[in-house]
Chain A
């Protein structure tokens, strides 16, 4: 218990990263908020049982986030997710602060990420949320090398997706 951060520190420190991870998965800010809330509600309940010696807080939180996101997809179905993602392309995103061109561009990029196959999407999101390939591999139940390969394939797939969009 002595080496355990107060939960509020964990919450304040990781909320943004978890939100970004979830946001890249689901493609809409409304869903991202719902899932992020569920992630931290679950984490809050489970924190007394968290063992710092077994895993890092980041890996623990992202595992909860990953499970919550998968639960969300199971509940809503992939077709519904895609429909909502398409409907919420950047211009339709209800973000009062999102007027800057650069930000819109990033949201467009995340929308492309959200349309990748599940494991590719996951690899990119976890890696760019700050996790090491070793942590990504553990979360995705594969080796570190496999996680690297999956990630690189995912980035290439993303590039193709962006290209196709630019060509149309």
Chain B
């Protein structure tokens, strides 16, 4: 009597073992569809937290875009409305406290520690300040539409700026040539169509026109590429994907995913929706600093999407860079330099409004210098002011490299 039960038990065991093997195989062979792994990885990369949203556009790209009639009107309009008041404090400001009503945080002034650290690039050129004074004296009663204040101001500092390092890297790149541009286009599969004035090359495919530009001296703008879509440019297909995902997929498909660190930001307030890849530079201690243009706006790559279709992609042309460390000014020196941009003396009889600078961060700015150009650290101070009932933002950029490391 027991034998049949044993047989039954053995059969059951065998059946269960077979089922377990099937389960092993089922779990072993069940995998996501092809492409899912890379898509998700891109989504994860693009979901890195954005510290803040960019303003409407990159003023740095404005000059390049202005030269191209075919630029979508929306992109041009966005470029036009960006008027941000930045006082780029000159060199002399670093060494004088200026006539502000300030109460600067921190201790007393510490003189520059000259020649303690000589960078490998030799003395560096100072950031270009030409053109920055324009808004300073003329627009006190005409606030910029982008929510930023461009006029003169009496600056005070109530924030806290405490740097944990005294040396920061400076990056240098060689001015890209037509050969550089051709290689970039070739990697995209875009044949040369011509070399219009102001560009290293123009290239065309069935889906888009590519233009590549070198460094622009004024306003300082990084070497860049612009992809202008033709009507045949297909929409990016990715079910359920948001704009940042779509932009990442497009960049990945074209081998344009940035090789540098970045933060993604999305401006979906209008059409086209804009996806920004804000470039970051690594600093000592594992921190990072954003690359900003002369208006204080972060930049890197921008993908404009209309109905999931990329209509304009503009980004930094990849260039190889050297790196060298330079002594930077102290926090106190930076604050004093920022406050040195105060203009307490009324120009037209109306006192300049008081602006309380409350925040400061280390950023990087482009310093064009001919054959070689540099990305140099700078301090960006910001605060708000009420003008005619509107709260506006005031930004002040201060070069960070120690004056002793600069060309006179």
Contacts and interface: CB of A to CB of B under 8 A. Distances in A.
Main secondary structure of the interface of B (DSSP, over half): helix
Interface in A5-51: 8, 11-12, 15-17, 19-21, 23-24, 29, 32-34, 36-37, 40-41, 44
A159 to B, nearest CB: 5
Interface in B4-41: 15-16, 19-20, 22-34, 36-37, 40-41
B181 to A, nearest CB: 32
Nearest to A7: B44
A128 B23 contact: yes
A11 B31 contact: no
Contact of B27 (A8, A33, A36, A128): A128
A34 B43 CA distance: 12
A59 B86 CA distance: 51
A23 B30 contact: yes
Contact of A162 (B19, B20, B33, B36): B19
A124 B23 contact: yes
Interface in A116-137: 124-125, 128-129
Main secondary structure of the interface of A (DSSP, over half): helix
A106 B13 CA distance: 20
Nearest to A162: B19
B47 interface: yes
Given A19-B32, A33-B36, A11 B23 contact: no
Interface string B153-184: 00000000000000000000000000000000
A24 B26 CA distance: 9
Contacts of B32: 15-16, 19, 29, 32-33, 36
Interface residues of B, number: 25
A128 B24 contact: yes
Contacts of A106: 22, 25-26, 29-30
B21 to A, nearest CB: 10
Which of B22, B23, B43 has the most CB atoms of chain A within a 10 A radius of its CB?
B23
Nearest to B22: A109
Interface of B: 15-16, 19-20, 22-34, 36-37, 40-41, 43-44, 47, 240
A8 B41 contact: yes
B42 to A, nearest CB: 11
Contacts of A128: 20, 23-24, 26-27
A95 interface: yes
A31 to B, nearest CB: 12
B29 A103 contact: yes
A97 B34 contact: yes
Given A41-B44, A155-B20, A20 B33 contact: no
Contact of B43 (A19, A23, A37, A113): A37
A25 B41 CA distance: 23
A158 interface: yes
Nearest to A125: B27
B36 to A, nearest CB: 6
26 contacts: A11-B41, A11-B44, A15-B32, A15-B37, A15-B40, A16-B31, A16-B32, A17-B27, A19-B30, A34-B240, A41-B44, A44-B47, A95-B33, A103-B29, A105-B22, A106-B30, A109-B22, A109-B23, A110-B30, A128-B26, A128-B27, A155-B16, A155-B19, A156-B16, A158-B23, A162-B19
Nearest to B18: A159
Contacts of A34: 240
Contacts of A124: 23
Contact of A110 (B26, B31, B33, B40): B26
A100 B176 CA distance: 53
Contacts of A36: 32, 40
A109 B26 contact: yes
Nearest to B44: A44
Which of B34, B40, B43 has the most CB atoms of chain A within a 10 A radius of its CB?
B40
A40 B27 contact: no
B40 A37 contact: yes
A19 B29 CA distance: 11
Given A19-B32, A40-B40, A44-B47, 8 more contacts: A11-B41, A12-B37, A15-B40, A33-B33, A37-B40, A106-B22, A106-B26, A109-B22
A24 B30 contact: yes
Which of B25, B26, B31, B34 has the most CB atoms of chain A within a 10 A radius of its CB?
B26
Contacts of B20: 128, 155
B15 to A, nearest CB: 6
A40 to B, nearest CB: 6
B121 to A, nearest CB: 32
Q: Lowest 5 CB-CB distances: which A-B pairs, in order? A: A106-B26, A20-B30, A128-B27, A16-B31, A20-B27
